[in-house]
């Protein structure tokens, strides 16, 4: 089949890792398995318009963020196209217009690479499906290839195609898990973890001090790398039991330890970085104090930056939001935070 032109449209969420991906081999292969909650409100919507070109020599595309042309995104997308063209041979045949917008402010310090790259991968998959004369691919293979492609854009993006709990990276107790794409967590999950909430406290909206590419590279020759990768496997095993038996206290320990370990890796690499800000620590201490004097199960996790994700069960929604307003908002830049919760993956619009 050939197509002269058309457009496709997807919205895809961000995700927050519980066991962190930090360190990769060539071709975006992770050094350890990771698992994340897919988010619901924090997402990117992308419209990909395509029109057939006369020649198929080079890639040709324009990128717009919220209606404004963004040439600064071009090199990342060019790299992405180069990596995936062997899996999507039509890439050089079309001129693309990529129009994208995020539900969260783009200078919020929330990484848009997971939601952005997964939305783009899904748009490209839709075009491939339109071009294909074969029988419609089943959803499973569509999602699997979308995740595979998204991984080549940004590793963690492969965990944003589906929800609500996604594993990326081979782990011995997770059948079907792969280094090449994310899979839905296949084991039982206790009611305690359904509809988990994530309130994201925006401590520092500035540009990241360390890009994740540089960050992952710091794990090469890192003095603690081998032990860290083993620990991620162990924490995955522990989480499998925790998800089964509903032990939220044990969940809190793993999740907070993973966040601090991620930052410990950055503090102990060469060169070394401190990505937390004083307000990040203020928030962590407030969360610990709150947990000590109530029977709350609220906990925190961090990405490679200063912002804090506050995770808690749905039945604590009201009380934790009060706590956030009364005690944590003061540490957020311009009082800015985002209430989110577990979501169920990308959607075609």
Q: Which residues contact ligand PMV by CB under 6 A?
A: 17, 20-22, 34, 111, 113, 154-156, 212, 262, 303-304
Smallest distance from the beta carbon of 304 to ligand PMV, in angstroms?
A: 4
DSSP state of 87: T
End-to-end alpha-carbon separation of the chain, Å?
23
**What are the counts of helices (DSSP H) followed by strands (DSSP E) for the chain?**
8, 14
> Which tokens is 335 given?
């009082």
Q: Are 181 and 157 in contact (CB under 8 A)?
A: no
Task: Give Cα separations from 4 to 51, 96, 134 (angstroms).
Answer: 6, 12, 19
Residue nearer to ligand PMV on the CB measure, 113 or 341: 113
At its nearest, how many Å lie between ligand PMV and the CB of residue 150?
Answer: 10
Give residue 39's region: left, alpha or beta (phi > 0; psi -120 to 50).
Answer: beta
Q: Which is nearer to ligand PMV, 3 or 210 (CB)?
A: 210
Choose between 116 and 313: whose C-beta lies nearer to ligand PMV.
116
Closer CB to ligand PMV, 115 or 143, in the complex: 115
Tokens of 178: 């792969």
Residue 127 or residue 262: which is nearer to ligand PMV going by CB? 262
| Smallest separation (angstroms) from ligand PMV to the CB of 9 | 23
Sheet with 197-201: strands ordered across: 299-302, 308-312, 197-201, 337-341
Q: CB of 151: closest distance to ligand PMV in angstroms?
A: 9
Query: Closest separation between CB of residue 51 and ligand PMV, Å?
Result: 31
Pick 72 or 191: Cβ nearer ligand PMV: 72
Q: How far is the CB of 154 from ligand PMV (least distance, A)?
A: 4
Closer CB to ligand PMV, residue 34 or residue 143?
34
- At 216 the three-state DSSP class reads helix
* Nearest distance in Å: CB 326, ligand PMV: 29
Closer Cβ to ligand PMV, 112 or 296, answer by number: 112
Kindly report the number of other CB atoms within 10 A of residue 239's CB atom: 24
Could you tell me if 37 and 310 are in contact, meaning their C-beta atoms sit under 8 angstroms apart? no
Beta strand ranges found along 107-178 (DSSP E): 165-168
Tell me how far apart the alpha carbons of residues 338 and 349 are, in angstroms, rounded to a whole number. 24
Contact (Cβ atoms closer than 8 angstroms) between residue 12 and residue 212: no
Nearer to ligand PMV, 145 or 216 (CB): 216
Q: Decide the pairing of beta strands 94-102 and 60-65.
A: parallel
Q: C-beta of 120: minimal distance to ligand PMV in Å?
A: 14
Closest distance of CB 285 from ligand PMV, Å: 22
Q: How far is CA 160 from CA 53, 298, 312, in A?
A: 31, 24, 20
Look at phi and psi of residue 299 and say left if phi exceeds 0, alpha if psi is from -120 to 50, else beta. beta
């Amino acid at each position: 089949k050939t197509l002269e032109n058309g457009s496709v449209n997807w919205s895809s969420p961000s995700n927050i890792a519980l066991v962190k991906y930090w360190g990769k081999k060539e071709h975006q292969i992770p050094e350890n398995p990771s698992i994340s909650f897919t988010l619901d409100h924090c997402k990117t919507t992308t419209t990909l318009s395509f029109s057939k070109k006369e020649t198929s020599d080079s890639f040709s595309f324009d990128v717009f963020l919220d209606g404004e042309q963004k040439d600064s995104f071009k090199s990342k997308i060019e790299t992405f196209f180069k990596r995936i063209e062997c899996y999507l041979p039509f890439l050089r045949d079309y001129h693309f217009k990529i129009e994208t917008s995020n539900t969260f402010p783009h200078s919020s310090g929330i990484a848009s690479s997971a939601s952005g790259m997964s939305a783009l991968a899904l748009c490209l998959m839709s075009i491939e499906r339109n071009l294909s004369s074969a029988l419609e691919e089943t959803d499973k293979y569509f999602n699997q290839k979308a995740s595979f492609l998204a991984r080549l854009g940004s590793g963690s993006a492969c965990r944003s195609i589906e929800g609500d709990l996604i594993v990326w990276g081979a782990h011995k107790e997770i059948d079907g898990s792969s280094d090449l794409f994310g899979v839905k967590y296949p084991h039982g999950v206790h009611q305690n973890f359904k509809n988990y909430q994530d309130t994201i406290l925006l401590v520092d909206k500035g540009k990241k001090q360390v890009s994740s590419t540089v960050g992952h590279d710091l794990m090469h020759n890192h003095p603690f790398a081998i032990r860290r990768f083993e620990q991620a496997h162990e924490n995955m095993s522990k989480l499998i039991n925790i998800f089964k038996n509903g032990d939220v206290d044990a969940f809190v320990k793993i999740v907070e330890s993973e966040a601090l370990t991620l930052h410990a890796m950055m503090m102990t690499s060469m060169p070394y970085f401190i990505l937390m800000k004083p307000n990040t620590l203020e928030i962590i201490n407030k969360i610990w104090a709150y947990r000590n004097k109530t029977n709350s199960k609220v906990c925190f996790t961090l990405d490679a930056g200063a912002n804090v994700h506050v995770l808690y069960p749905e039945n604590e929604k009201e009380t934790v939001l009060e706590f956030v307003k009364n005690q944590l908002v003061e540490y957020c830049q311009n009082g800015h935070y985002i209430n989110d919760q577990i979501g169920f993956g990308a959607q075609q619009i």
